[in-house]
């Protein structure tokens, strides 16, 4: 069968890209078209996203994709979760806030004073994260005057097409989607003082949102439909993860490590709430039962800080190679400690945690990197064990997808600390999930639930890491 082409916009918290996906019934290939930086910008009132630059990079990437591949048939958009932009009279109200901005701390207290955490969990199934959208809504001074609140991929889709929608996998991260019905919990919104008018029409992965506005089509060079995909990047990544069995765990690893299992029904027990596990929607209505673990953010912020100290770029591949040569026990810290969540002096904060625990701070950078990787891996292994216990599953393997699948010492450390084989790859799982949902909507791939993973498994072979016995 002749391959057909689609374009995927895949936006992460540190970078974005546009890729071309060429898909047939049994194979998929990706071509990177453009990559551009993304990240927080400090404004007078706090941390924001430079959304204008982000959107212009998306447009430029799509135009280049069409130039390279005129046969592109559709566009899909995914991004990180929880952040949003407000519309008033069809126009964006300011720059979207960044989820790491400190403003949400007040929102947490106000929300929990109105709705206890136990009730919130029964209603939305979400783990507690201080930056979840409903906490941001609670402190947003512009909310009352807005016509709509659109999560980042939905906001870009609106600017491309003129249609306001909320794709369900990402809407499930807001805290305002009923975990049982996958519809807006309007009663909860009312109790929290969140106007229901800002919550747009819900759509599911595979639905066509609309065609490009004429002026956008002119800039891009083609009149194309925008198809809803798993617009939460983790939903797209998990949809493409070639899970080897129903008992396999997944880790979508980048800035964050999203660690969990795929379930058919939400797990809303008190034990799941106490362990801070979330029940987010995946593609085809499946539940992503997972826990957010701080991922490679710890390493990237450390490297950034060292680069500022040195006044030069730090060679990460060389550091990783040196880290694998570090022998013996290295000290561990809690990768999820709240002190590590904001941008800043990451080496200093990690050193402070080690000092507080009585551990010796590694004296050279290779050992320090090894401590970071082993601490992340330890948190990953703990989350996998907990997920299996809470879901009543005997986990038999771990699939690491995303950028972290290229980090060989992290993958090996995760295998060692979990005692389970790790299957690493594909690195471009999010873009693959985005592309394949579009391809399925176009009739290229079967509607069978596992068809997307079958195509991925035929196209890419993961790297296997078997657990080694820890010698310390």
Would you please indicate which residues are annotated as catalytic (active-site) residues?
233
Sorted by sequence, the CB contacts under 8 Å of residue 221 that are 6+ apart come out as 63, 66, 67
Measured CA to CA, the distance from residue 223 to residue 217 in angstroms comes to 5
Measured CA to CA, the distance from residue 288 to residue 266 in angstroms comes to 8
Sorted by sequence, the CB contacts under 8 Å of residue 274 that are 6+ apart come out as none
Measured CA to CA, the distance from residue 321 to residue 323 in angstroms comes to 5
Two tokens, residue 355 = 């000092």
β 256-263/248-253 pair status:
antiparallel
Closest CA to 168 of 115, 124, 222: 124
Residue 150 pairs in a beta bridge with: 85
3-state DSSP call for residue 239? helix
Rounded (10°) angle between helices 365-391 and 297-310: 170
Place of tokens 């800080």: 305
Measured CA to CA, the distance from residue 34 to residue 16 in angstroms comes to 8
Place of tokens 């807005």: 146
Two tokens, residue 445 = 């791939």
Measured CA to CA, the distance from residue 414 to residue 320 in angstroms comes to 15
Place of tokens 């080690």: 354
């Amino acid at each position: 069968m002749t391959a057909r082409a689609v374009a995927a916009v895949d936006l992460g918290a540190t970078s974005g890209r546009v890729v071309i996906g060429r898909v047939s019934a049994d194979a998929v290939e990706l071509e990177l078209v453009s990559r551009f930086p993304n990240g927080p910008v400090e404004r007078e009132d706090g941390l924001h996203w430079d959304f204008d630059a982000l959107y212009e990079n998306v447009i430029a990437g799509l135009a280049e994709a069409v130039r390279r591949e005129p046969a592109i048939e559709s566009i899909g958009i995914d991004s990180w979760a929880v952040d949003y932009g407000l519309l008033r009279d069809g126009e964006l109200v300011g720059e979207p806030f960044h989820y790491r901005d400190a403003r949400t701390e007040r929102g947490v207290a106000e929300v929990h004073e109105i709705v206890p955490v136990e009730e919130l969990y029964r209603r939305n199934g979400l783990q507690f994260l201080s930056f979840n959208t409903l906490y941001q809504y609670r402190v947003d001074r512009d909310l009352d005057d807005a016509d709509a609140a659109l999560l980042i991929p939905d906001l870009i889709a609106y600017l491309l097409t003129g249609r306001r929608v909320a794709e369900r996998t990402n809407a499930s991260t807001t805290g305002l989607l009923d975990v049982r019905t996958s519809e807006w919990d309007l009663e909860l919104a009312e109790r929290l003082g969140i106007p229901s008018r800002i919550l747009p029409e819900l759509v599911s992965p595979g639905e066509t949102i609309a065609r490009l506005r004429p002026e956008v089509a002119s800039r891009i060079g083609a009149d194309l439909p925008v198809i809803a995909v798993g617009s939460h990047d983790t939903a797209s990544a998990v949809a493409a993860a070639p899970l080897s069995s129903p008992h396999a765990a997944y880790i979508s690893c980048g800035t964050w490590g999203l660690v969990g299992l795929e379930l058919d029904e939400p797990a809303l027990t008190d034990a799941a709430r106490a362990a801070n596990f979330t029940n987010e929607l995946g593609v085809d209505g499946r539940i992503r039962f997972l826990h957010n673990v701080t991922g490679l953010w710890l390493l990237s912020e450390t490297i950034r800080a060292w680069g500022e100290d040195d006044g030069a770029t730090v060679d990460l591949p060389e550091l990783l190679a040196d880290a694998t040569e570090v022998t013996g026990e290295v000290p561990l810290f809690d990768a999820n400690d709240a002190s590590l969540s904001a941008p800043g002096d990451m080496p200093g904060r990690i050193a402070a945690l080690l000092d507080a625990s009585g551990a010796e701070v590694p004296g050279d950078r290779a050992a320090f990197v090894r401590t970071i990787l082993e601490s992340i891996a330890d948190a990953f292994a703990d989350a996998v064990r907990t997920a299996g216990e809470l879901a009543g599953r005997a986990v038999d393997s771990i699939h690491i997808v995303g950028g972290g699948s290229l980090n060989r010492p992290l993958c090996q450390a995760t295998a060692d600390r979990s005692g389970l084989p790790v299957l690493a790859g594909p690195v471009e799982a999010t873009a693959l999930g985005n592309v394949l949902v579009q391809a399925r909507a176009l009739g290229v791939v079967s509607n069978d639930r596992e068809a997307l993973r079958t195509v991925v498994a035929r196209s890419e072979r993961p790297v296997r890491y078997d657990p080694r016995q820890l010698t310390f």
